[in-house]
Chain A
């Protein structure tokens, strides 16, 4: 592994919270040690309040760690905050970095000046982003008049304008419709391919992780609960895939198919849901077994969703 672009050792952040006159300490991130190599695409997942955003804020020098060390792009985030800011681009899905009252284009100009881009760098990079994120139609529109999908594209462009080595996205697809999500993911894939950008993203959307990430970190109550690839994660937690079949006529519950568990039947058995272990069998084999007993009209396969996977990990640790 080459020099990590992110490296933390025993990283810890506590918050003092006051409830009902009593002060207590909340450990948001607890003894977190992780390494991310340049060029990786890492999904950082966990329940709300698990410590994802706090980690990101320590990686970027916004929050000061209580204990432990952190190095991002070879720099100390708090002390070298301004130098680090030139190498990192961050999108907070819930916060805007665009100038609310000004046209989108104007935000890009200001940010280009802030990051010290030359006129030619500014022109070519802006053109590239406008084209890839399809922003031409709303460049002259004040930010406050944009739709959420448009604004998120603007946010991503704003964070990537200075071609950062490391891009951190905190819930980038939150609230977006399917098409907008798809467009954003395609952009990020293309951006990685052309520029070799390192990607760290937090999300509640399994689609984001599946399409963008080659590595997954799961955080639970501030601690690292899983580090590996996505299929491995499903294996670890034994998350099952679910085959849903619509049958031509009502049949009895489809029990007894190898490595398969019957979940529910609807309409006297017209629609049945079967959970199967993806390690032991395949959707095709299960389907073949079902077809021996009844005529299948339609089918869908449900993937384990991120909440389910996280829940299972958490359950296994408690």
Chain B
């Protein structure tokens, strides 16, 4: 096992742990996406390019797009925007005072 593969493995573990620790749902989906991408590089290193192509297309592409669509459907993205807007409005009021 080369150093490159070990580095990728370490990155996988960091990704997997940080998915569960991130408080923003959008961030955890992005981390999950990068996990799939690193996994596809690892598949190439393990000499299975068929799996690598599938992992990149399905894991990093379609699955995370479906996750985004679901977040939009349950208004998880929208609510965060509203919260930010409110915070900004409050700040503006404070600065006016």
Q: Do A and B bind each other?
A: no
B-binding residues in A (CB < 8 A):
none
